[in-house]
């Protein structure tokens, strides 16, 4: 079948290249479309603020204790090109687009042009990939480094020249270390990458030496990553992760890890022995199953069953819909690095051809619609408008109070030092608010994010007990009050 696909590719190479050009240009256009139109929200502004602090503070003081430093290090230099929303987010857009290009070569190397083209088309317009290509976060960089790492290990074990093997191996180690320095969750990607290598070895796509090369590369990457493991912040994070105990000198790590409630952590600890056993056995099982001719024949037959194909097709449609208007996306954003890899089975079932266009066209249209909804219809918290309104209406003795207090990052990004904040420290806030003279301030601008109020103090109730509301403006996921005693 692969030979037939190759013959079809060479029979009409211009058509295939036009489709590839369409996929890449469309993917780039969607990633740049209205890139700077929305305000930076908290995580984006916080990341920019962290990048401005310098690596010495990052390394020792824990100014960003839940992410390793590489993205912020890169952002520090990137931001010198410009600090507009478009300029800053362009880093993510370029990372996402380069990953799209490189992943085409991975699929073409492993399978054929038509399979690679299907995966590229679907990745180019995927709503979740587009969403994070337009965010100043580290997820698109994760995708790029994961793609480089995967391409490099593939080329290391398939290149003929020793010099080429060495060069690709070095790139594999560097990209893998860079991935670890970008996000702590990449340990799951490394496991996923190992499982993929074993499967490709089982179906004879890669030689058996691939696993030894991968292990050697991982050891080299670990050596590069070791300084961060021994740093105050890195060691504190892993101590918190594996012990579940509070870490001295890093109060922000006292709380449970983001996205995990205490019952979930308790359940994981209870099932830990079973999970460890499963994780240990699974790679070997994947290799043995994929190496079996009977299993390969069974998978081939199942792939030819209409009901299987319809079930996969329906599941893909549901996933695309779920990736539109991403909310409560703690889990979704960690899927970004996996999405192109998970689209490979779709490419194998429906490689690009005139016959399969009736299957691919609805999926592409649905993906484009989802991406357009995310780009044009889904807003982000309008911190730029909030800051502009305060600056325009503020009087000399005004002060700003933000609830929760960490939202000072997006407001200060847009307002700088043009407005004064009262609650950078909660130690004396209640005393000031209940005093007769309000600490010398005449009016208070109170910014509240109702979905995420600060639990350190019942600030909203305190504000409404002490002040009268003179004006209120509602923004997306934020309210702005002008208050006087």
Q: What is the pLDDT of residue 250?
A: 40
Query: What gap in Å lies between CA 485 and CA 470, rounded to an integer?
Result: 10
> How many residues in total does the chain contain?
485
Tokens at 192, concatenated: 């996923």
Comparing C-alpha atoms, which of 396, 380, 392, 390 is closest to residue 446?
A: 390
- Measure the CA angle with vertex 445, ends 442 and 448; round to 5°: 150
Beta strand 468-475 with 443-448 is: unpaired
Q: What are the two backbone dihedrals, phi and then psi, of residue 226, each rounded to the nearest 5 degrees?
A: -55, -40
Query: What gap in Å lies between CA 180 and CA 258, rounded to an integer?
Result: 18
Query: What gap in Å lies between CA 150 and CA 143, rounded to an integer?
Result: 11
Q: Which residues face 474 on adjacent strands? A: 479
Query: What gap in Å lies between CA 295 and CA 336, rounded to an integer?
Result: 30
Sheet with strand 468-475: strands edge to edge: 398-403, 443-448, 478-484, 468-475
Query: What gap in Å lies between CA 213 and CA 154, rounded to an integer?
Result: 10
Q: What are the two backbone dihedrals, phi and then psi, of residue 22, each rounded to the nearest 5 degrees?
A: -60, -45
**Coil, strand or helix at 68:** coil
Q: Which residues face 241 on adjacent strands? A: none
Contact 462, 415 (CB under 8 A): no
pLDDT averaged over consecutive 10-residue blocks of the chain (485 residues)? 45 76 96 96 91 79 80 94 96 98 96 94 96 95 98 96 96 98 91 91 89 96 94 79 51 41 56 64 70 74 84 92 70 86 93 90 96 91 92 89 83 87 60 63 85 62 83 92 88
Contact 161, 355 (CB under 8 A): no
Alpha helix ranges (H) inside 419-458:
429-433
Residue with tokens 């370029």: 94
Contact 386, 409 (CB under 8 A): no
> What does the DSSP 8-state code read for residue 34?
T
**Coil, strand or helix at 395:** coil
Comparing C-alpha atoms, which of 470, 473, 474 is closest to residue 484?
A: 470
**Coil, strand or helix at 238:** helix
Q: What are the two backbone dihedrals, phi and then psi, of residue 214, each rounded to the nearest 5 degrees?
A: -65, -45
Contacts of 6 (CB under 8 A, 6+ apart): 112, 113
Tokens at 468, concatenated: 């009268």
Query: What gap in Å lies between CA 407 and CA 426, rounded to an integer?
Result: 14
* Residue 447, Ramachandran bin (φ over 0: left; ψ between -120 and 50: alpha; else beta): beta
Beta strand 468-475 with 478-484 is: antiparallel
Q: Which residues face 423 on adjacent strands? A: none
Comparing C-alpha atoms, which of 57, 55, 92, 52 is closest to residue 76?
A: 52
Give the distance between the most distant pair of CA atoms in the chain.
85
Contacts of 268 (CB under 8 A, 6+ apart): 275
Contact 129, 96 (CB under 8 A): yes
Query: What gap in Å lies between CA 192 and CA 213, rounded to an integer?
Result: 16
Residue with tokens 């990341």: 47
**Coil, strand or helix at 300:** helix
Quick count: other Cβ atoms within 10 Å of Cβ 223?
11
Query: What gap in Å lies between CA 178 and CA 225, rounded to an integer?
Result: 8
Contact 226, 177 (CB under 8 A): no
Residue with tokens 């503070």: 57
Query: What gap in Å lies between CA 355 and CA 369, rounded to an integer?
Result: 23
Where are the extended beta strands (E) located within 388-467? Answer: 398-403, 443-448
**Coil, strand or helix at 398:** strand
Tokens at 135, concatenated: 């965010």
């Amino acid at each position: 079948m692969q030979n037939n696909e190759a013959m079809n590719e060479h029979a009409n190479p211009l058509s295939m290249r036009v489709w590839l050009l369409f996929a890449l240009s469309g993917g780039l256009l969607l990633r740049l479309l209205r890139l700077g139109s929305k305000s930076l929200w908290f995580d984006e502004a916080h990341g920019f603020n962290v990048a401005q602090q310098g690596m010495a503070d990052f390394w020792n003081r824990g100014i960003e204790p839940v992410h390793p430093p590489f993205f912020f290090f890169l952002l520090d230099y990137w931001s010198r090109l410009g600090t507009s929303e478009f300029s800053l987010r362009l880093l993510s857009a370029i990372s996402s687009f380069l990953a799209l290009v490189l992943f085409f070569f991975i699929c073409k190397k492993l399978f054929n042009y038509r399979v690679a083209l299907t995966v590229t088309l679907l990745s180019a317009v995927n709503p979740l990939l587009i969403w994070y290509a337009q965010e100043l976060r580290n997820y698109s960089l994760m995708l790029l480094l994961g793609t480089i790492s995967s391409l490099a290990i593939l080329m290391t074990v398939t290149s003929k020249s020793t010099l080429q093997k060495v060069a690709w191996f070095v790139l594999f180690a560097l990209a893998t270390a860079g991935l670890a320095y970008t996000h702590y969750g990449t340990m799951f990607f490394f496991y996923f990458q190992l499982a993929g290598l074993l499967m490709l070895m089982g179906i004879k796509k890669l030689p058996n030496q691939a696993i030894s090369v991968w292990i050697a590369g991982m050891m080299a990457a670990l050596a590069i990553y070791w300084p961060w493991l021994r740093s105050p912040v890195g060691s504190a994070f892993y101590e918190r992760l594996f012990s579940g105990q509070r870490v001295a000198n890093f109060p922000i790590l006292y709380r449970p890890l983001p996205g995990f409630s205490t019952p979930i952590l308790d359940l994981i600890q209870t099932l830990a022995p079973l999970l460890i056993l499963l994780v240990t056995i699974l790679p070997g099982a994947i290799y043995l199953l994929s190496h079996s001719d009977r299993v390969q024949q069974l998978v081939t037959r199942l792939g030819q069953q209409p009901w299987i194909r319809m079930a996969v097709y329906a599941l893909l449609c549901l996933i695309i819909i779920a990736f539109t208007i991403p909310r409560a996306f703690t889990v979704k954003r960690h899927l970004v690095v996996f999405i192109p890899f998970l689209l490979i089975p779709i490419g194998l079932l429906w490689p690009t051809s005139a016959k399969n266009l009736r299957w691919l066209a609805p999926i592409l249209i649905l993906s484009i619609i989802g991406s357009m909804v995310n780009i044009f219809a889904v807003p982000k918290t309008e911190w730029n408008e909030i800051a502009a309104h305060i600056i325009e209406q503020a009087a000399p003795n005004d002060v700003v109070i933000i609830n929760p207090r960490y939202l000072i990052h997006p407001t200060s990004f847009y307002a700088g030092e043009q407005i004064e904040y009262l609650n950078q420290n909660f130690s004396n806030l209640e005393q000031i608010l209940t005093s007769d003279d309000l600490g010398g301030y005449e009016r208070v601008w109170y910014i509240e994010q109702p979905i995420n109020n600060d639990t350190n103090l019942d600030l909203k109730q305190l504000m409404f007990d002490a002040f009268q509301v003179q004006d209120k403006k509602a923004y997306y996921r934020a309210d702005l009050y002008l208050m006087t005693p």
